[in-house]
């Protein structure tokens, strides 16, 4: 990995407001709870390095049915085993899966009970409010994290989205793509934390920006291990660095990897725990740790 640049440090705390007027009779009323309620208690970085590497894990359950988890118990068992090992999950369910999959509500509710956080995964900002409402109507508070995000939509983002009287506010952009379909050149594989300026200046940090962008890297186990080794050698001296591994919900393997299954993931956790500066946290918790540490903005390319 190569450090591209270090950006200015700014300290702007985001706030999110979630309210829940009475829901229609066809669905239960979501609780009036802020997306940032009950945050993870984040340990401080050890003095020996000055850097903490926060590792999160995600899945995106797309609207396409061939990406849906078909075996509820097997899917939840995978989440339980990895959660027991220390991994913190941030999962995004797309609108088609949430509305049409028979097991979506059960998976969301049971996984949330084991500590999984549910982000707002949408390929159209028009679905933000509805996705948040569905999750809340099932008793699960959506985080303020956006995933499935097109960079061209950045300028049109609103401070809040409403559906059926329920309001949700975005706070964190996870990743970001310049074109749909995950074609070559579309995805952002940087490791980064900053506040984007605009769609046309998305890589430029604006200390007064309202949204935090967290770039999760390539999502591969080997790449986060390389990053950890570089941090141990004194490279990338930022107080907080975030990295996200990504698992395919239909295969339980690291995305694009034919071999990195649960056994490889659990062995990876053991290796990463040997580093005193590694912490396991959700995407939302990583962003909050960055704010708490003073918002040292950066981008590292892979």
DSSP 45-110: PPTTTS-EEEEEEEEEE-SSGGGS---HHHHHHHHHHHHHHT--EEEEE-HHHHHH-TTHHHHHHH
Neighbouring CB atoms inside 10 A of 60's CB total 21
- What are the boundaries of each domain within the chain? 2-8+46-301
- Render each residue's pLDDT in the chain as its tens digit; 302 residues: 444 333 333 333 333 333 333 343 344 444 443 333 334 434 444 434 699 999 999 999 999 988 899 999 999 999 999 999 999 999 999 999 999 999 999 999 999 999 999 999 999 999 999 999 999 999 999 999 999 888 999 999 999 999 999 999 999 999 777 666 556 666 777 899 999 999 999 999 999 999 999 998 888 999 999 999 999 999 999 999 999 999 999 999 999 899 999 999 999 999 999 999 999 999 999 999 999 999 999 999 86
pLDDT tens-digit readout, 102-143: 999 999 999 999 999 999 999 999 999 999 999 999 999 999
Q: Which CATH superfamily is domain 2-8+46-301 in?
A: Uncharacterised protein PF12979, DUF3863 (3.20.20.510)
Residues written for the chain: 302
pTM above 0.85, yes or no: no
3-state secondary structure 108-138: HHHHHHCCCEEEEECCCHHHHHHHHHHHHHC
CA distance 229 to 59: 25
């Amino acid at each position: 990995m190569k450090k591209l640049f270090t950006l200015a440090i700014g300290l702007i705390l985001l706030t999110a407001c979630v309210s829940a007027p009475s829901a229609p009779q066809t669905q239960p009323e979501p609780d009036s709870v802020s997306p940032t309620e009950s945050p993870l208690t984040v340990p401080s970085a050890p003095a020996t390095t000055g850097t903490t590497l926060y590792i999160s894990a995600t899945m995106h359950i797309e609207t396409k049915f061939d990406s849906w988890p078909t075996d509820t118990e097997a899917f939840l068992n995978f989440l339980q085993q990895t959660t027991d090992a220390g991994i913190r999950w941030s999962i995004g369910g797309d609108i088609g899966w949430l509305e049409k999959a028979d097991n979506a509500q059960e998976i969301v509710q049971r996984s949330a009970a084991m500590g999984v956080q549910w982000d707002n995964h949408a390929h159209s900002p028009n679905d933000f409010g509805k996705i948040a409402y569905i999750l809340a109507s099932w008793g699960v508070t959506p985080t303020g994290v956006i995933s499935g995000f097109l960079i061209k939509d950045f300028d049109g983002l609103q401070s809040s989205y409403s559906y059926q009287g329920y309001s949700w506010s975005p706070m964190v952009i996870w990743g970001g793509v310049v074109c749909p379909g995950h074609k070559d050149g579309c995805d952002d594989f940087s490791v980064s934390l900053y506040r984007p300026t605009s769609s046309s200046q998305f890589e430029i940090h604006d200390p007064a920006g309202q949204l935090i962008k967290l770039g999760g890297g390539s999502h591969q186990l080997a790449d986060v291990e390389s990053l950890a080794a570089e941090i141990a050698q004194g490279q990338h001296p930022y107080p907080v660095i975030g990295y996200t591994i990504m698992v395919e919900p239909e295969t339980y393997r690291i995305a694009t990897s034919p071999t990195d299954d649960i056994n490889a993931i659990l062995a990876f956790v053991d290796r990463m725990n040997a580093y005193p500066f590694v912490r396991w946290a959700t995407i939302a918790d990583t962003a909050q740790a960055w704010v708490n540490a003073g918002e040292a903005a950066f981008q590292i390319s892979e």
